[in-house]
């Protein structure tokens, strides 16, 4: 099996599972506790049906939209995800270059294995930086200032990870960062020699954005869950968000909003966008799916702030449903991380092409020429 055999999310997942050592694959694939929310994130779309119109003159389809003040070629962008170096030896550079080729946004995590400056030099396309507030306030300020100097366009504060979720799969598989040899993981590394060779012979693993600020960035030899619990500030509040928004002075998204109450607070502190997200089902298990919350939040604040749907995206039709409810755009994480693992930059380009083709084809079948044609008359909830 190779990239040309991949036609959908499940195919990229299967190829990634074939190429990655078990602990790495399951870190991407897993969620928290019983993984109910992880699965519900995608299942929620099945409760909504598309209602097409015919004979609508759809000869020329325009998939473009504007989000964060930036025009992108189609309404899907790469969500911020950590440690791409674990999945492919070219790391975040591969993802960023693929996003640039397809005219969409690349999002970079604080927990990136490529630095802010490197990504700033690699691509001039729209870039979003995902900020975590650390206990060391100087680190938070430093990250914002470096993003401004490197030409990032959007700042995004993730607010649902003040403590790490209970990711039992990671404990069972022995996942650590960087990977550490145990009796169980050794077998998996040996049976994936290509990954092991590339990991050992390319750039050393490091948390590139914080390596100069904290010893944890250079000598971390434990679970990422332990890092989050030790370094992230659980006392973070709306005043901290407002401080970051004022310091950044540009498009600013708050990621992890799941309630109308918090959406209104995001608006009050000056955010220009919210990302409805439950961290891919990796934090609070048993929480609602983002798509389940979308309509209520859009109705409350959608005319005053940009609403992005993040979570559970597997198909182009999922994106059409979200846009019809009122989302400005969607982002996805697992989908492109599996593709990155399967084939590096070519893999991410492959999945973006598949998703773009699905959106285009289904827009035609829906009788919609532009993104603006998608509205609630085009959907029905079961």
pLDDT of residue 102: 98
User: By percentage, how much of the chain surpasses pLDDT 70?
Assistant: 93
Could you read off the pLDDT of 314-351 as tens digits, one per residue? 999 999 999 999 999 999 999 999 999 999 999 999 99
How far apart CA 264 and CA 242 sit, in angstroms, is 13
How far apart CA 106 and CA 240 sit, in angstroms, is 25
Q: Tell me the β-bridge partners of 254.
A: 157, 274
pLDDT of residue 179: 72
Tell me the pLDDT of the chain averaged across its residues: 92
Q: With beta carbons less than 8 A apart as the criterion, state whether 340 and 347 touch.
A: yes
How far apart CA 128 and CA 107 sit, in angstroms, is 4
Task: Please say if the pLDDT value at position 115 is more than 60.
Answer: yes
pLDDT of residue 220: 47
Could you read off the pLDDT of 41-87 as tens digits, one per residue? 999 999 999 999 999 999 999 999 999 999 999 999 999 999 999 99
The torsion angle over the Cα atoms of residues 13, 19, 20 and 26, rounded to 10 degrees, is: 20
How far apart CA 250 and CA 273 sit, in angstroms, is 11
Task: Please say if the pLDDT value at position 210 is more than 60.
Answer: yes
pLDDT of residue 223: 54
- List, in order of start, the domains of the chain with CATH numbers: 3-372 (3.20.20.70)
Task: Please say if the pLDDT value at position 4 is more than 90.
Answer: yes
For 78, half-sphere exposure in the C-beta direction (CA atoms, 13 angstrom radius) is: 37
Q: Residue 313: pLDDT band by 50, 70, 90 thresholds?
A: very high
User: By percentage, how much of the chain surpasses pLDDT 90?
Assistant: 77
pLDDT of residue 219: 47
| ω into 22 cis (within 30 of 0) | no
Q: Residue 175: pLDDT band by 50, 70, 90 thresholds?
A: confident
Q: How far is CA 22 from CA 81, 169, 191, 192, 372, in A?
A: 19, 10, 10, 9, 43
Q: Are strands 329-332 and 65-67 parallel, antiparallel or unpaired?
A: unpaired
Task: Please say if the pLDDT value at position 221 is more than 70.
Answer: no
Residues known to be catalytic: 279
Q: Residue 204: pLDDT band by 50, 70, 90 thresholds?
A: confident
């Amino acid at each position: 099996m190779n990239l040309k055999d991949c036609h959908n999310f499940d195919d990229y997942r299967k190829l990634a599972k074939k190429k990655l050592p078990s602990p790495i694959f399951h870190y991407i694939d897993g969620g928290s506790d019983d993984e109910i929310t992880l699965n519900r994130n995608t299942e929620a779309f099945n409760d909504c049906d598309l209602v097409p119109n015919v004979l609508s003159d759809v000869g020329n389809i325009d998939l473009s939209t504007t989000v964060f003040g930036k025009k992108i070629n189609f309404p899907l962008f790469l969500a911020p995800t950590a440690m791409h170096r674990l999945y492919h030896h070219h790391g975040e550079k591969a993802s960023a270059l693929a996003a640039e080729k397809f005219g969409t946004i690349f999002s970079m995590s604080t927990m990136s294995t490529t630095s802010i400056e490197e990504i700033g030099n690699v691509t001039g396309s729209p870039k979003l930086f995902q900020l975590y507030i650390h206990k060391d306030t100087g680190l938070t300020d430093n990250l914002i200032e470096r993003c401004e100097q490197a030409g990032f366009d959007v700042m995004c504060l993730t607010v649902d990870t003040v403590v790490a979720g209970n990711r039992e799969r990671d404990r069972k598989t022995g996942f650590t960062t960087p990977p550490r040899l145990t009796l169980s993981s050794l077998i998996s590394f040996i049976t994936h020699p290509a990954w092991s060779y590339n990991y050992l012979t390319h750039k050393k693993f490091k948390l590139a954005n914080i390596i100069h600020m904290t010893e944890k960035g250079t000598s971390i030899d434990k679970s990422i869950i332990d890092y989050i619990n030790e370094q992230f500030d659980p006392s973070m509040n709306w005043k901290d968000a407002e401080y970051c928004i004022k310091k950044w002075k540009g498009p600013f998204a708050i990621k992890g909003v799941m309630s109308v109450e918090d959406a209104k607070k995001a608006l009050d502190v000056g955010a220009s966008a919210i990302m409805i997200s439950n961290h891919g089902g990796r934090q609070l298990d048993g929480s609602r799916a983002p798509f389940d919350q979308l309509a209520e939040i859009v109705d409350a604040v959608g005319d005053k702030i940009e609403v992005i749907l993040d979570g559970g995206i597997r198909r182009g039709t999922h994106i059409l449903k979200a846009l019809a409810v009122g989302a400005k755009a969607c982002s996805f994480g697992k989908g492109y991380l599996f593709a990155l693992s399967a084939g590096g930059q070519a893999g991410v380009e492959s999945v973006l092409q598949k998703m773009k083709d699905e959106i285009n084809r289904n827009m035609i079948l829906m009788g919609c020429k532009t993104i603006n044609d998608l509205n609630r008359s085009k959907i029905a909830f079961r």
